Structure 1
Amino acid sequence: MNSMYFTEEHESFRQSFRDFLQKEVVPHIDKWEKEGTVERFIWKKFGEMGYFGLNQPEEYGGLGLDLFYTVIFLEELQKINSGGFAANMWAHAYLAMTHVNKEGDDRIKREYLTPSIDGDKIGCLCITEPFGGSDVAGMRTTAIKKGDTYVINGSKTFITNGVYSDYLVVAAKTNPEDKHRGMSIFIVDRDTPGISSTKLDKLGWRASDTAEIAFDNVVIPAENLMGEEGKGFPYIMQHFALERLVMGINAHARAEYAVDYAVQYMSERQAFGKTLDKFQALRHKVAEMASRVDMCKEYNYSIAKRLNDGQYVVKEASMSKLLSTKMADEVIYEALQLLGGYGYMEEYPMARLLRDSRLGPIGGGTSEILKEIIAKMIIDKKEYKPAT
């Protein structure tokens, strides 16, 4: 136990969540990976156990716990070897629900946040567009006010939970002429006329329903605006720090899982009369891999502590995602190599792990974009401010 960050209560939660995943989730993973759908019953079980409410306010049914419960939640989800299942869970709890909690009014929280915590409603966050990618400010989706309604037109893509979610948190331009201050955030019911979703076929994250979503004259009540009109861009930027840290933590956790699995395999596999873990070249490779994992993990824990204390950590979270996802790809590649031919076989975990990990440097802001953001802060002394 790392007592700098985790208490006995944290570790007790880790063990109980690990047991829950092994009993309730692992037996279904291969089916969900094959079908590309996570069945609804597991969402309800997560809700009943309080797992969607770890960091949510108690008045809406959450537990109001510190961020290290979230760290444990993310780490353990990576160690059952389904990046797609994990993404469905954390995209609901830490992307969609974060906006509902931070920008939604009391009515919205009671109608959407509480059922989300309970596992009765699933949310998705709709920001990325087919022609925009990481260029959030350049989005083309519009939400034009007409009387006491907004009319949404446009499209989003690469949306996790984009097919089977019950509601959508949508970023759209309310003033298309203003690049940064013309964006707003809305909550939209899935069954609203004019919404259509197309499931995307992906290299990895096979269990996750990633979608392209079209909005064709979708009319929503004006009261479904979340927060203030025109402040969508700073809201999104503010929450990107959490999203990037989430992806950094995911990366160090899956890399750690890969190293642990490879070490166990090496202790059992024999060649030339001795187990693989006795060959110096392989031992030194593992030493390097484990060192890289540990460096990223400790850095991510320190950022989680600062974020939990209310600090604005957009630079550090961007660094976390940039380096941790790169590290995970490289470590998992090496771990697959340590298994030899078995690493390439689907019955072993490394093939899926390698595919799932490859999304890390792409989703939630590509590594190329993150480098430019970090460069602006270090070289140009640019300061990103929280939304006020």
Structure 2
Amino acid sequence: MGSSVIDFLATERRLGTHNYEPIGVVLSRGEGVWVWDTEGNRYLDCLSAYSAVSQGHCHPKILAAMVEQAHRLTLTSRAFHNDQLAPFYEEIAALTGSHKVLPMNSGAEAVESAIKSVRKWGYEVKGVPDGQAEIIVCADNFHGRTLGVVGFSTDPETRKHFGPFAAGFKIIPFGDAAALEAAITPNTVAFLVEPIQGEAGVIIPPAGYFTKVRELCTANNVMLVLDEIQTGLGRTGKLLAEHHEGVEADVTLLGKALSGGFYPVSAVLSNNEVLGTLKPGQHGSTFGGNPLACAVARAAMRVLVEEGMIENAARQGARFLEGLKDIRANTIRDVRGRGLMLAVELHPEAGRARRYCEALQAKGILAKDTHEHTIRIAPPLVITSDQVDWALERFATTLTQDFS
């Protein structure tokens, strides 16, 4: 007899660090857009592991690539070459139009690597005085959980009692090009920003914002670093979210869906001399660029394109967004999204979004609350029209539900 849900949760509470507050479900299997719990109940996954499982759970072609490579060679470290790294470089560069690639593991590692790289570029190429490099970031940003990153977060929960923090960051409002222009100085080396703020509640900037941002960065020799770890690889209905305004970042950060949820893989991509400043011994990662990671990422990128997932995200995202906007509920303050990166923001008097997520769970949908009053919706990019309609029925019932 296996463990019960109560046993699993009790063991986690007893032995695990309480740094998460998960929805009360214990999952044991996944396929496509569906996941099953230990009791056999099926749910439509509307989180996709924060967009890491964009290709769907346990995609058979990514799985096959992982198993095949695991039989051959998993890790060499970067002390030696491996036969998967060069093809990975070629394929991700061809897909994204990048000129240089730095492979890492987690998204936060990619962000930290970019920060180090743009600072080094600032000192060695731009000529910023040593120790004076400035990076501009946005309020309500989310770029990871490392000490370097939380130091420029504006979320008190991520910062409290973790200091002292590194200097060298300026915080401006998101979506305000005039604020960026005012913040730039001769010592500014980069503007690090999410194309859409995910953790903040799927906050979309005003039209034309990134066009103006690109102009300002170019005019002032400032590197535009786009954190596309959540928004990239089809999530917003285009390969990269930057393509919605036809701009090109100097440095692009990818992660999450780069492995289809099988393995931590991230990458720093550059179209300029930023990554060229790194020399042997100055930065690295034992696991970054390992053959297993490269084989998995190659398969993950391949199915994304070959199976039309990016185009499907655009179609189904528009259908989902329209359906959510059609829900007539006095609980809803705003509905927004791009592609399959969506959010329903509730009026504060409607109560915490958490209880709506728990009600959705009872109806067979797993979604996640953020910032108290927002429900984030990000199903795998393989979702069908019928599945979107099925989900919309349950969202409509839940959002009009009387909790009093």
Give the TM interval when normalised to the shorter protein.
Answer: under 0.3
Higher helix share: 1
TM-score normalised by structure 1 residue count = 0.26
TM-score normalised by structure 2 residue count = 0.25
Q: Which has the higher contact order (CA 8 A, sep 6+)?
A: 2
